Chain A
């Protein structure tokens, strides 16, 4: 219950930040002020808010859970590749988005695409795809909030009340504070994550009798020693994962946030310090997740390991219900909470619980981004802003935030989380495959709206195709099951956690084919006018 009290205090703090941001916003009722904080975000907030916006619940709960099951490979799969690729994208594409937004008054990437390629409905199609790929993340955040609050309160706060409370708090500070409130809350959350990681490492490390002891006991057990290497993940899958961070710049909440910086030089320290932030958050989470396997004195850890052994055993097939139950039990997503429950005093576990809550409440920037896109790319684009004025546009944005949050809450109450986790998994690949559009629009004079449309249609078809394939075929227990082969090469496989194309994750072929289509179709289709191209690239 102590944990629930700390979480309550945390929720009150973020609500206050939202209201304070609303008052700080002053009388300026422009869309730029509400949706982009008047393009006035300073260096400190820009770094921590951008990092918090991109690193969602997965950074703390998901990473330690993945590491618990798969070992140290988690860090190389998801953290160190992002440490290079994401800041590179910010340096090469983020600065250009900032510049285009500043020069031409754009608030969203779709506005840039429409202007750059002189298109109308292609922009609408891009909006629809981005919105569809973003929705699962919003839902996962809502579901995570309710689940964590229920766990931290020992079941005293039911799921419906927990996720409802999270929905109301997020809705309030996004509606009142707009981008300014969301950026400040994200900064506060990121600082909490960082503090959380440091304190959790010290407390849990001491509780385990030191990390040397924990690692030695794992090395002495053949069933656990492999978790200290990367033998559980094939090199081809490891390589594929290096393409997933490409998604960062195509996430609407990241690309829109790039346009909020007051000056372009604010990107400098963000680019340099982004990997350091990744190290500070991910290394403790991954290492704690792996070494949790040595804490066999905790019954819940033993239960998870038993379920994992059952899933890995080659003999026999489990019925679907038993398979799902074993997967849920083997999941390590709550492993940090379990370690804190066992090793930290109640008051400290409560304080750290607020940190975990901060991690799962990352839906705010995504909801605001969706609202910005709707009001700018649909409401304003189709003439309503001119007809009804800027105040109506902001009111529409606020109403949209309310509608999206309320709808997400109602869906979260009725549909199991697994469905959205699956959708979220391929949304990452979808966003990665959209990155060639950003490169083309901002670097290539010869890119065209037809090339962009071909790429977008391909991404839509690929995401839908993979979702259908995974829904139609049962997850493989043990080695991947081949569904389509060419000689010795298994082209299409269903794995325990997803799909493999010629041994690689779908993100790799999706991104390469998207780039190829964009290039080929742009080569043979009419270009935008010379005047438009020169506005972006100068005479050439």
Chain B
């Protein structure tokens, strides 16, 4: 495993761990946009952060060696 793979795997684990936001457990405040409780707003933001991190993984950890981009007829 090279250094880049280790760093990417470690960051993925950290993102996975950040899902457990125990510090927001019993609080409603602050209300984001005036109506979104922090416990919900945090996880909405977490979802967007996951999309951003997955874009990084697609860029830097794409398993290009598996690709066999043969033309196989028209697209469905």
List residues of A whose CB falls within 8 A of some B CB.
24, 37-42, 45, 72-73, 75-76, 79-81, 83-85, 87-88, 91, 95-96, 98-99, 102-103, 180, 183-184, 210-212, 214-215, 219, 225, 228-231, 235, 238-239, 242, 260, 262-265, 268, 271-276, 278-279, 283, 286-287
**Whole-angstrom CA separation of A162 from B6 in the bound complex:** 54
Does chain A have a CB within 8 A of B7?
Answer: no
List residues of B whose CB falls within 8 A of some A CB.
12, 15-16, 19-22, 24-28, 31, 34-37, 39-40, 43-44, 46-48, 50-51, 53-55, 57-58, 61-63, 66-69, 72-76
**Whole-angstrom CA separation of A117 from B31 in the bound complex:** 54
In the complex, what's the smallest C-beta–C-beta distance from A507 to chain B, in angstroms? 15
Which residues of chain B are within 8 angstroms of A88 by Cβ–Cβ distance? Answer: 12, 54, 57
Q: Is the CB of A228 within 8 A of B28?
A: yes
**Whole-angstrom CA separation of A224 from B60 in the bound complex:** 46
> Which one of A83, A96, A103, A239 lies within 8 Å of B47 (CB-CB)?
A83
> Which one of A38, A214, A264, A271 lies within 8 Å of B66 (CB-CB)?
A264
Which residues of chain B are within 8 angstroms of A98 by Cβ–Cβ distance? Answer: 66
**Whole-angstrom CA separation of A285 from B71 in the bound complex:** 40
Which residues of chain B are within 8 angstroms of A274 by Cβ–Cβ distance? Answer: 51, 54
Which residues of chain B are within 8 angstroms of A95 by Cβ–Cβ distance? Answer: 63, 66
Among residues of A, the one whose C-beta sits closest to the C-beta of B34 is A212
Q: Is the CB of B39 within 8 A of A230?
A: yes
Task: Give the interface centre of B16, B61, B73, B76 by most chain A CB atoms within 10 Å.
Answer: B76
A-B contact count (CB 8 A): 146
Among residues of A, the one whose C-beta sits closest to the C-beta of B74 is A40
In the complex, what's the smallest C-beta–C-beta distance from A57 to chain B, in angstroms? 21
Q: Is the CB of A40 within 8 A of B57?
A: no
**Whole-angstrom CA separation of A215 from B28 in the bound complex:** 10
Q: Is the CB of B76 within 8 A of A38?
A: yes
> Which one of B12, B31, B61, B69 lies within 8 Å of A264 (CB-CB)?
B69
In the complex, what's the smallest C-beta–C-beta distance from A373 to chain B, in angstroms? 21
Which residues of chain A are within 8 angstroms of B48 by Cβ–Cβ distance? Answer: 275-276, 279
With contacts A219-B28, A228-B37 taken as known, whether A263 is within 8 angstroms of B44 at the C-beta atoms is: no
**Whole-angstrom CA separation of A99 from B36 in the bound complex:** 43
Q: Is the CB of A80 within 8 A of B43?
A: yes
With contacts A88-B12, A211-B35, A235-B22 taken as known, whether A75 is within 8 angstroms of B51 at the C-beta atoms is: no
Which residues of chain A are within 8 angstroms of B53 by Cβ–Cβ distance? Answer: 84
28 contacts between A and B (CB under 8 A): A38-B72, A38-B76, A39-B72, A41-B75, A72-B40, A75-B44, A79-B43, A83-B50, A84-B15, A91-B61, A99-B68, A180-B76, A210-B35, A211-B35, A215-B31, A219-B28, A228-B37, A231-B25, A235-B22, A260-B76, A262-B75, A262-B76, A264-B66, A264-B67, A275-B47, A276-B48, A283-B44, A286-B40
